[in-house]
Protein backbone atom coordinates (compact mmCIF):
# COMPACT_ATOMS: atom_id res chain seq x y z
CA UNK A 1 0.00 0.00 0.00
CA UNK A 2 1.21 3.50 -0.82
CA UNK A 3 -0.07 6.46 1.19
CA UNK A 4 0.58 10.21 0.91
CA UNK A 5 0.88 11.89 4.33
CA UNK A 6 0.79 15.56 5.32
CA UNK A 7 1.89 16.85 8.70
CA UNK A 8 2.43 20.35 10.07
CA UNK A 9 4.76 23.01 8.66
CA UNK A 10 4.32 21.82 5.07
CA UNK A 11 6.12 18.51 5.60
CA UNK A 12 4.73 15.70 3.48
CA UNK A 13 5.66 12.09 3.12
CA UNK A 14 4.98 8.84 1.38
CA UNK A 15 4.42 5.61 3.27
CA UNK A 16 5.03 2.24 1.66
CA UNK A 17 3.58 -0.78 3.47
CA UNK A 18 4.66 -4.31 2.62
CA UNK A 19 3.64 -7.50 4.40
CA UNK A 20 6.45 -7.01 6.92
CA UNK A 21 7.60 -3.38 6.75
CA UNK A 22 6.32 0.20 6.78
CA UNK A 23 8.73 2.72 5.27
CA UNK A 24 7.99 6.45 5.45
CA UNK A 25 10.03 9.01 3.51
CA UNK A 26 9.46 12.61 4.61
CA UNK A 27 10.03 15.70 2.46
CA UNK A 28 12.36 17.09 5.14
CA UNK A 29 14.74 14.16 4.54
CA UNK A 30 13.78 12.11 7.58
CA UNK A 31 12.79 8.46 7.28
CA UNK A 32 10.98 5.92 9.40
CA UNK A 33 11.07 2.14 9.16
CA UNK A 34 8.93 -0.23 11.20
CA UNK A 35 9.19 -4.02 11.32
CA UNK A 36 5.66 -5.37 11.76
CA UNK A 37 6.92 -8.90 12.51
CA UNK A 38 8.62 -7.63 15.67
CA UNK A 39 6.79 -4.36 16.32
CA UNK A 40 3.20 -4.41 15.01
CA UNK A 41 2.37 -1.25 16.98
CA UNK A 42 5.13 0.75 15.24
CA UNK A 43 6.75 1.86 18.48
CA UNK A 44 10.40 1.54 17.39
CA UNK A 45 11.75 3.30 14.30
CA UNK A 46 14.56 1.04 13.01
CA UNK A 47 15.57 3.18 10.01
CA UNK A 48 19.02 3.93 11.44
CA UNK A 49 19.75 0.35 12.53
CA UNK A 50 22.68 -0.91 10.39
CA UNK A 51 21.05 -4.36 10.25
CA UNK A 52 18.28 -2.84 8.12
CA UNK A 53 20.44 -1.03 5.54
CA UNK A 54 19.61 -3.41 2.68
CA UNK A 55 15.91 -3.49 3.57
CA UNK A 56 15.77 0.30 3.69
CA UNK A 57 17.53 0.61 0.32
CA UNK A 58 15.13 -1.87 -1.28
CA UNK A 59 12.08 -0.07 0.07
CA UNK A 60 13.45 3.28 -1.12
CA UNK A 61 13.75 1.82 -4.64
CA UNK A 62 10.23 0.41 -4.49
CA UNK A 63 8.82 3.74 -3.35
CA UNK A 64 10.68 5.67 -6.06
CA UNK A 65 9.28 3.29 -8.71
CA UNK A 66 5.70 3.92 -7.51
CA UNK A 67 5.80 7.71 -7.24
DSSP string, 38-63: T-TT-----TT-GGGHHHHHHHHHHH
pLDDT value of residue 8: 81
CA–CA distance, 14 with 5 (Å, rounded to integer): 6
**pLDDT value at 50 more than 90:** yes
pLDDT in tens, 55-64: 999 999 999 9
Predicted pLDDT of residue 9: 85
State the pTM of this model: 0.91
Q: Is 33 exposed, middle or buried (0-12, 13-18, 19+ CB in 10 A)?
A: buried
Contact call for residues 28 and 12 (beta carbons, < 8 A): no
Yes or no: say if 34 and 46 are a contact pair by the CB < 8 Å rule. yes
Each residue of 4-41: pLDDT tens digit? 999 888 899 999 999 999 999 999 999 999 999 999 99
Amino acid sequence: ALTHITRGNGVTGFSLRTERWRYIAWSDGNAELYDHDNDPGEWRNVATDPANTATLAGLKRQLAARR
